[in-house]
Amino acid sequence: MKFRIAALSLAAVLLAGIAVTYVWFARQAQPAPAAVSPVTLESGLLVVLNRRLAVIDGSGAARVSAVECVRVYAAAGTGVCLQPESPWAYHLSVLDSSLTTTKTLPLPGLPNRARVSASGRMVAWTTFVGGDSYASGGFSTRTGIIDTKEGTVISTLEDFAITREGKAYQNIDVNFWGVTFAADDDRFYATLGTDGKRYLVEGSVKSRTVRTIVSNVECPSLSPDETKVAFKQAVNADPQQGWRLSVLDLKTLAVTHTAETRSIDDQAAWLKPGTIAYTVRDSAGDPSVWTVSADGTGQPQLLAPGAESPATLGNHL
Amino acid sequence: MYLASVTRPAASGTATKIVAGNVVALGTVSLITDISSEMVSAVLPLYLVLSLQLSPLSYGLLDGIYTGATAILRIVGGFVADKFRHRKLVAGLGYGLSALAKLGLLLAGRSTGALGFVIATDRMGKGLRTAPRDALITLSTPEGALGRAFGVHRMMDSVGAFLGPLVAMAVLTVAAQSYDAVFVTSFCIAALGVVVLVLFVHDRRGTLAAQPIRLKDAARIPGLGKLALVAVLLGLATIGDGFLFLLLQKRDDLSLIWFPLLAVGTSLAYLVLATPIGALADRIGRVPVFLAGYAVLTVTYLLLASGASAWLILVLYGLFYACTDGILMALAGPVLPEHLRTTGIAVIQTGQAVAYLGSSVLFGLAWQTIGSTPAIFAAALTAVIALAATALVLRRFAATTPAVAAEDR
């Protein structure tokens, strides 16, 4: 018995030593918070840098704010930041141009996408929610919209009336993700996942309806002239095989693959007519922001190493 | 001796004795291992979604694939443990495999294939270890005290499951959100569990069977078919924790932030009730307690449909677990011959797991087609039918099948 107690004690001390040492190194390895500088949502490229909201100017210099965000977007002086309270709980903050919080909303689940309409009035978010699915360990999404002018919150699009391939449609497995708004602050595009398929839908906030347009289009991002959407297309219509960053012509429904051949799991952002920006992850999950031409020509360009969640604030590049 | 007398053991005898040292050792291993595995379960979604930025919808697909493989491995593992009378070794392999899987998470990176393999390895480890572990509990405990022994074991197990997320939260906070630190800590804790197993758990090797045992012998274990049927019924009557919590969340429009706490509520109730219910089963009989579990489950479903307090439902659900989970093993253990006990337990547990999976899928379909309230009523009806069928099976079982392990006393 004495031997066993001694052996156990030795093993416990050894293993605790390994754990404590690793935790200590992990703590040291964390980058020191960058110096906080005054940041406004007026011009430049809005990104997340080391989990902080940051703005990169034309020269490539980053100003990093004190605002912690997992995902950001902004337009016309309205920003949205999906913000951690703890590793398990997140909320959405609507920010004004000087990064003052004007509204917060607790979010269910883990942050995924965020968008603001061009006028700055409408805000949309998507989170991943655990347990909303048949198999335990399965996930589903939750997508909501805030009208900052009226102050109304649509906590889930799942209550909207769905028209699928011309017919009224209802199913408990319905999931929405990745909203992008049109300029009239009513019309929007998003992804509808149901029945094993993923559709591009066009919807109306006022009439609370969506209708499917085409399948295998995820995370749409409407071009400034509203004729195209950039999106991720599952390779062979199977998300397990990764996604190809592509552009859909809304009139002809023709799909153009961009020159980006890596698998991109992001909702892209239009930096200017003809150019889209998106986050690339390396094998360790570390991000960088790249751009590529929307017409399928050229090569992807690295825009901001270490950054993610790009959005243009205008007057950029 | 007949099962009827198993269910009504003499009130004196073992009732005063607290559980065997081996059971406490196995409980300690489970406690430590569950801290480790629940740490990972608590952070895995965060890690996949936020750190690796993997689409969790594709992760969900990874999940179901290996269930079948795990079921087969469990039975083969049980048989090997019996054949070579090395229950401790097989259980240890299972614990070791799961410990290594924690390190695998560090190496898998963003590759969904590698992550799927690592998660499957962890599952296989769990599948491999449960049957020999439960067999060792039955082999270390006098028959009359089995209910209490399983109660104590399941209580210790739940304590670990309860602590795991808290430890993970603490590590994340101290290690500046490093998920790798959580995995390394989880591995160290799991390794400690293996050390405790190696040092403090005694294998019950028993005497060598007269003839080498063959897999087809397992099919001839008297009573195993009926016990497996009881386990399948139990699996079919259970719609799944995920659905129960989801229904509660939808019904009461609970903030999703509370969602993880629902599981905590149930495991707390289970943790508190497991030992007293196990002891009660030893005194008044395991079959009545097991059947009472179904009654509790039926009431739980009906309350869920009626809009009763969420906390009451969670506590009743924990009570259902306390009345059925360990009790089924206490019921089965003495009936299975010693030399094939691990195999028998593996068959029973596999039956339950597969039926449970099927029941979840069926409930999902029912919810989708007839709506949540009718689906809950259907589940309640299933529980009542399962109760009646189980009562019938165990009654005839008691009248026809001699229990083998009577000489233990």
- Taking the alpha carbons of B316, B317, B318, B323 in that order, is the dihedral positive or negative? positive
CB-based contact A132 B246, cutoff 8 Å = yes
User: For the segment B114-159, what is each residue's pLDDT rounded down to a tens digit?
Assistant: 887 888 888 889 889 999 999 999 999 998 899 999 999 999 999 9
Instruction: Flag whether pLDDT at A20 surpasses 60.
Output: yes
SS3 A90: strand
Q: Which two tokens stand for residue B33?
A: 């291992």
Q: Which two tokens stand for residue B101?
A: 């899987």
Cβ pairs A/B, distance under 8 A: 147
pLDDT score for A34: 65
Lowest-confidence segment of A4-13, B274-283, B334-343 by average pLDDT: B334-343
Q: Which two tokens stand for residue A122?
A: 């409408």
User: For the segment B52-99, what is each residue's pLDDT rounded down to a tens digit?
Assistant: 776 655 444 444 455 666 788 889 899 999 988 899 999 999 999 999
pLDDT score for B242: 75
pLDDT score for B67: 61
Contacts of B191 in chain A (CB under 8 A): 11, 15
Q: What residues 142-201 of chain B have any CB closer than 8 A to a CB of chain A?
A: 169, 171-172, 174-178, 180-181, 184-185, 188-189, 191-192, 195-196, 199-200
Q: Is A283 on the interface with B (CB under 8 A)?
A: yes
Longest Cα–Cα distance in chain B = 62
Nearest to A108 among B195, B242, B256 (CB): B256
Instruction: Flag whether pLDDT at B262 surpasses 90.
Output: no
Measure the CA–CA gap between B29 and B96, rounded to whole angstroms: 12
Nearest to A16 among B56, B181, B188 (CB): B188
Nearest to A281 among B53, B57, B196 (CB): B53
Q: In the predicted model, what is the mean pLDDT of chain B?
A: 84
Q: Is A27 on the interface with B (CB under 8 A)?
A: yes
For residue B30, being part of any structural domain is answered with yes
Contacts of A281 in chain B (CB under 8 A): 52-53, 110
Q: Residue A22: closest CA among chain B residues belongs to which residue? A: B181
Instruction: Flag whether pLDDT at A265 surpasses 60.
Output: yes
Q: Is B358 on the interface with A (CB under 8 A)?
A: no
HEC string of chain B equals: CEHHHHHCCCCCHHHHCCCCHHHHHHHHHHHHHHHHHHHHHHHHHHHHHHHCCCCHHHHHHHHHHCHHHHHHHHHHHHHHHHHCCCHHHHHHHHHHHHHHHHHHHHHHCCCHHHHHHHHHHHHHHHHHHHHHHHHHHHHCCCHHHHHHHHHHHHHHHHHHHHHHHHHHHHHHHHCCCCHHHHHHHHHHHHHHHHHHHHHHCCCCCCCCCCCCCCHHHHHCCCCHHHHHHHHHHHHHHCCCHHHHHHHHHHHHCCCHHHHHHHHHHHHHHHHHHHHHHHHHHHHHCHHHHHHHHHHHHHHHHHHHHHCCCHHHHHHHHHHHHHHHHHHHHHHHHHHCCHHHHHHHHHHHHHHHHHHHHHHHHHHHHHHHHHCHHHHHHHHHHHHHHHHHHHHHHHHHHHHHCECCHHHHC
**A60 CB-contact burial (10 Å; exposed 0-12 / middle 13-18 / buried 19+):** exposed
What's the pTM?
0.81
For residue B13, being part of any structural domain is answered with no
Domain ranges, residue B330: 3-8+18-204+215-408
For residue B145, being part of any structural domain is answered with yes
For residue B210, being part of any structural domain is answered with no
Interface test with B, best of A112, A139, A195 (most B CBs within 10 A): A139
Please report, rounded to a whole number, the percentage of residues in chain B having pLDDT higher than 90: 50
Computed on alpha carbons and rounded to an integer, the radius of gyration of chain A in Å comes to 21
SS3 A286: coil
CB-based contact A23 B185, cutoff 8 Å = yes
Instruction: Flag whether pLDDT at B402 surpasses 50.
Output: no
Q: Residue A24: closest CA among chain B residues belongs to which residue? A: B175
CB-based contact A137 B60, cutoff 8 Å = yes
For residue B231, being part of any structural domain is answered with yes
Distance (Å) from the alpha carbon of A264 to chain B's nearest alpha carbon: 10
pLDDT score for B14: 43
Tokens 């805000």, residue located = A123
Domains of chain A: 41-312 (2.120.10.30)
Of A83-87, A186-190, B367-371, the range with the highest mean pLDDT is: A186-190
Distance (Å) from the alpha carbon of A184 to chain B's nearest alpha carbon: 31
- Residue A315: what residue type? N
Distance (Å) from the alpha carbon of A170 to chain B's nearest alpha carbon: 9
The answer to whether B317 and B269 have CB atoms below 8 angstroms apart is yes
A39: left (phi over 0), alpha (psi -120 to 50) or beta: beta
Kindly state the average pLDDT of the residues B223-249.
Answer: 87
Q: Residue B114: closest CA among chain A residues belongs to which residue? A: A283
Q: Residue B197: closest CA among chain A residues belongs to which residue? A: A8
Q: What is the CATH number of the domain that holds B89?
A: 1.20.1250.20
CB-based contact A26 B364, cutoff 8 Å = no
Total domain count, chain B: 1
Nearest to A138 among B60, B112, B199 (CB): B60
User: For the segment A292-313, what is each residue's pLDDT rounded down to a tens digit?
Assistant: 999 999 999 999 999 999 999 9
Q: Residue B186: closest CA among chain A residues belongs to which residue? A: A19
pLDDT score for B66: 57
Q: Which two tokens stand for residue B172?
A: 């994340």
Kindly state the average pLDDT of the residues B87-114.
Answer: 90
CB-based contact A30 B368, cutoff 8 Å = no
For residue B303, being part of any structural domain is answered with yes
Interface test with B, best of A15, A23, A232 (most B CBs within 10 A): A23
Contacts of B110 in chain A (CB under 8 A): 281, 283-285
Q: Is B52 on the interface with A (CB under 8 A)?
A: yes
Q: Could you give the dihedral angle defined by the CA atoms of residues B130, B131, B135 and B137, in that order, rounded to the nearest 10 degrees? A: 10
For residue B372, being part of any structural domain is answered with yes
B383: left (phi over 0), alpha (psi -120 to 50) or beta: alpha
pLDDT band at B16 (very low <50, low <70, confident <90, very high): very low
For residue B209, being part of any structural domain is answered with no
Measure the CA–CA gap between A292 and B198, rounded to whole angstroms: 58
Measure the CA–CA gap between B383 and B378, rounded to whole angstroms: 9
Measure the CA–CA gap between B375 and B381, rounded to whole angstroms: 10
Nearest to B257 among A23, A70, A89 (CB): A89
Distance (Å) from the alpha carbon of A140 to chain B's nearest alpha carbon: 7
**A284 CB-contact burial (10 Å; exposed 0-12 / middle 13-18 / buried 19+):** exposed
Quickly count: other Cβ atoms within 10 Å of residue B333's Cβ: 28
The answer to whether B180 and B186 have CB atoms below 8 angstroms apart is no
Measure the CA–CA gap between B278 and B12, rounded to whole angstroms: 16
Distance (Å) from the alpha carbon of A134 to chain B's nearest alpha carbon: 6
- Residue A30: what residue type? Q
Instruction: Flag whether pLDDT at B259 surpasses 80.
Output: no
Question: Complex ipTM, two decimals?
Answer: 0.79
Contacts of B54 in chain A (CB under 8 A): 265
User: For the segment A99-133, what is each residue's pLDDT rounded down to a tens digit?
Assistant: 999 999 998 888 899 999 999 999 999 998 765 43
Contacts of A284 in chain B (CB under 8 A): 109-110
Kindly state the average pLDDT of the residues A183-197.
Answer: 93
Instruction: Flag whether pLDDT at A315 surpasses 60.
Output: no
pLDDT band at A212 (very low <50, low <70, confident <90, very high): very high
User: For the segment B333-350, what is each residue's pLDDT rounded down to a tens digit?
Assistant: 888 988 899 999 999 999
Q: How far is CA A17 from CA A3, A23, A29, A147, B263, in A?
A: 21, 10, 18, 53, 32
Instruction: Flag whether pLDDT at A262 surpasses 70.
Output: yes
pLDDT band at B5 (very low <50, low <70, confident <90, very high): very low
Q: What residues 301-340 of chain B have any CB closer than 8 A to a CB of chain A?
A: none
Q: What residues 77-116 of chain A have any CB closer than 8 A to a CB of chain B?
A: 86-89, 106, 108-112
